[in-house]
Amino acid sequence: MASSTSLTRAEVAAMIDHTLLAPEATPAQVGALIEDARMLGVLAICVSPSMLPVRAPGLVVATVAGFPSGKHHSLVKGAEARLAVDQGAAEVDMVIDVGAARAGDYTAVLSDIVTVREAIGDRALLKVIIESAALPDEAIVQVCRVAERAGADFVKTSTGFHPAGGASAHAVRLMAETVGDRLGVKASGGIRTAEAAAELIAAGATRLGLSKSREVLDGFPS
């Protein structure tokens, strides 16, 4: 396992989506998020689609679709993602229908992801949130395979809102082994310390979704 001292603050910052997806978030808080992101040197910000467009020079702008339940109609997810990209989002994190995955209906999961992929084309990266804590290992593997078939760029552990929990090193390792270096793996949900972040990176995470970015980065050496 990598320790927090084997990674530098700048290396970890370059992997972070600095995130504000609370339903009570205000425009002023999004502005503060952007300023904080600049000071921290992170890669991206991730905000709710209703907050777009935002001005964030030098930062990647990410948003979500079908968030947080994933129980939206695929066409609604696609329309939401397309509008977000039209309003400046460079990355879209979509939530699958977790119930379909739990039922083993991977054809429905595939169709859901393809609909969003086709809606945004190649104008933005597509990250697929699988809610790994709510799925058995076999379903995690199958959904990751489906996401790759559908043209996703990343698979992502969690919304951070599901009662089953957020990211785990076990799930990240399984996801990374399944997609190899062909897709990115984003760990998100409940990552609050440098030690937790380092463990997830060692397991194969290539991106981190954090709302506590400063606290995490403070645990890494300059």
Catalytic residue selected from 17, 93, 112, 153 = 93
User: Does the annotation mark 186 as catalytic?
Assistant: yes
Query: Can you tell me the distance from the alpha carbon of 197 to that of 220, in angstroms, rounded to the nearest whole number?
Result: 10
Q: Which of 17, 127, 153, 156 is catalytic?
A: 156
Residue 85 CA neighbour count, 13 Å, CB half: 23
How many Å apart are CA 39 and CA 53, to the nearest integer?
A: 21
Asked if 122 is an active-site residue, the reply is: no
Give dist(CA 13, CA 142) in Å, integer.
30
Q: Please work out, in degrees rounded to the nearest 5, the angle formed at the alpha carbon of residue 181 by the alpha carbons of 121 and 207.
A: 75
Q: Distance between CA 174 and CA 144 in Å, rounded?
A: 9
Per the annotation, the verdict on 156 as an active-site residue is yes
The residues assigned a catalytic role are 93, 156, 186
